[in-house]
Amino acid sequence: MTEFRMPSLGADMEAGTLVEWLVKPGDRVKRGSVVAVVETQKGAIEIEIFNDGLVSEIVVPVGGRVPVGTVLARLDGPAITPAQAAPPSLPPPLPAAAPPPAPPPSVPIVPIATAAPSRQPASPAARRLAGERGIDIQRLRGTGAGGAVTVADVEAAAPTVPGGETGRRRAGFDPAAMRQAIAAAMSRSKREIPHYYLSQTVEISGALARLERVNRERLPPDRILPAAFFLRAIALAMAKTPELNGFWEEGRFRPGDSVHIGWAIALRGGGLVAPAIRDADHRSLDELMASMRDLVLRARSAGLRSSELSDPTVTVTSLGDRGAETVLPIIYPPQVAMIGIGRIVTRPWVVNGAIEPRPVVTITLAGDHRASDGHRGGVLLAEIDRLLQEAETL
């Protein structure tokens, strides 16, 4: 028998409220399945399970508020170790029908002009919401990774549900409580983590020129933003400086298994979350841009999953074109680094001995001196600079 416990969804979470069970005793579950919805200061989060088994007992009823680590349910099945339980970044793939037997070699193969439509990929929450609202999910265009329909896509199709409610239930969501939780986590960070700060001002005319060429023939929804270039460069640079990519736990550094970038998202009404873009160093610019859009939509419609909040190996915050020129971030424990991206500004720049106006951006690293030092932090920033100068390779 194994136990399913209340997960930690970040350093600012101490407890959560069970607002919905999606399984019942007797149901069989598989690793990666969404089995419950938990309300935290960050809103409603879909909770995944990392064991295969049969649900034998529901321990915490709907409405119960319990601390992190509390047993929520029990399963009959083999235990999964933490190393085996790395959560998938996407919902499990839909089962494919068995392929038809191949025809004899003497029979010519003729393409069929029409075929039955395949099942539209969608998150479990999106399917439930579409069912509640009587929406044919097959008719929706998904904006999630791989074209999957998200909660936000269903909301856009029919923003109002009977009774005047909109979106997923967010009972108990309190911006003031979220702010208090964030403040507590950041106070702990500044108190316990010996921060050091480094910054690099990067000239990005080449990156912006490539961005303009890429976007020239695209419609606005498909265009790439500068943030995708920054994320791509940061992810590749992080892969080369692994001592800045991971966690400080139990008095020692544990490197991340890959580069999972937490992308800081401001929520409507106040507060922020930083869900992970998993394996960011293996994603193209288009894939990173699609992931960023998907996370923003789902973060603001209470559609995030627990795996996206529990395993970022480094966090990146960008204030965009309305923010400050320089950001001094505070590390989000147990991570050991955080990167801030300031506003793109035009500054005098020396080019071949002459002064010219050039677009620049200041990138700042906050590092944990227990896990790294200023030399390695400088190597990271220099690599980010180099990659942005060679934007055609990104």
Give the DSSP letter string of 113-129: S--PPPPPPB-HHHHHH
**Do strands 314-318 and 337-341 pair parallel, antiparallel, or not at all (unpaired)?**
parallel
Which phi-psi region, left, alpha or beta, contains residue 124 (left: φ > 0; alpha: ψ -120 to 50)? alpha
* Residue at 156 is within a domain: yes
* Residue at 20 is within a domain: yes
Q: What is the pLDDT of residue 132?
A: 59
Highest mean pLDDT among 125-134, 218-227, 265-274: 218-227
Among 80, 109, 142, the domain-final residue is 80
How far apart (Å, rounded) are the C-alpha atoms in residues 149 and 319? Answer: 28
Question: Are both 349 and 210 inside the same structural domain?
Answer: yes
265-287 tens-digit pLDDT: 988 767 788 999 999 999 999 99
What confidence tier does 172 reach under pLDDT thresholds 50, 70, 90?
Answer: very low
What is the reported pTM?
0.69
* Residue at 115 is within a domain: no
What confidence tier does 155 reach under pLDDT thresholds 50, 70, 90?
Answer: low
* Residue at 92 is within a domain: no
The mean predicted confidence, pLDDT, of the chain is 81
* Residue at 301 is within a domain: yes
Question: Are both 244 and 199 inside the same structural domain?
Answer: yes
Question: Are both 236 and 366 inside the same structural domain?
Answer: yes
Q: Are 42 and 15 in contact (CB under 8 A)?
A: no
Q: Quick check: 41 pLDDT over 80? A: no
- 236 or 121, which is more confident: 236
Q: Quick check: 78 pLDDT over 90? A: no
Q: What is the pLDDT of residue 87?
A: 44
Mean pLDDT, range 275-300, rounded to an integer: 93
CATH number for the domain that contains residue 147: 4.10.320
* Residue at 227 is within a domain: yes
Q: How many structural domains are present in the chain?
A: 3
Question: Are both 356 and 290 inside the same structural domain?
Answer: yes
Question: Are both 311 and 367 inside the same structural domain?
Answer: yes
Question: Are both 289 and 240 inside the same structural domain?
Answer: yes
Question: Are both 243 and 301 inside the same structural domain?
Answer: yes
Question: Are both 200 and 155 inside the same structural domain?
Answer: no
**Which residues constitute the domain of residue 145?**
124-164
CATH number for the domain that contains residue 219: 3.30.559.10
Q: Which of 8-17, 21-30, 245-254 has the lowest mean pLDDT?
A: 8-17
Q: Quick check: 143 pLDDT over 50? A: yes
Does residue 334 have a cis bond before it (omega within 30 degrees)? yes
* Residue at 98 is within a domain: no
* Residue at 41 is within a domain: yes
Question: Are both 352 and 274 inside the same structural domain?
Answer: yes
Q: What is the pLDDT of residue 121?
A: 74
Q: Quick check: 299 pLDDT over 70? A: yes
In angstroms, what CA-CA distances link 175 with 13, 72, 111, 119, 360?
14, 26, 56, 38, 34
How far apart (Å, rounded) are the C-alpha atoms in residues 171 and 273? Answer: 18
What confidence tier does 290 reach under pLDDT thresholds 50, 70, 90?
Answer: very high
Cα angle vertex 32, ends 185, 161, to 5°?
A: 80
Question: Are both 153 and 221 inside the same structural domain?
Answer: no
- 252 or 104, which is more confident: 252
Q: Which of 79-93, 259-273, 309-323 has the lowest mean pLDDT?
A: 79-93
Question: Are both 15 and 66 inside the same structural domain?
Answer: yes
Q: Quick check: 108 pLDDT over 60? A: no
Q: Quick check: 375 pLDDT over 80? A: yes
CATH number for the domain that contains residue 49: 2.40.50.100
Question: Are both 261 and 368 inside the same structural domain?
Answer: yes
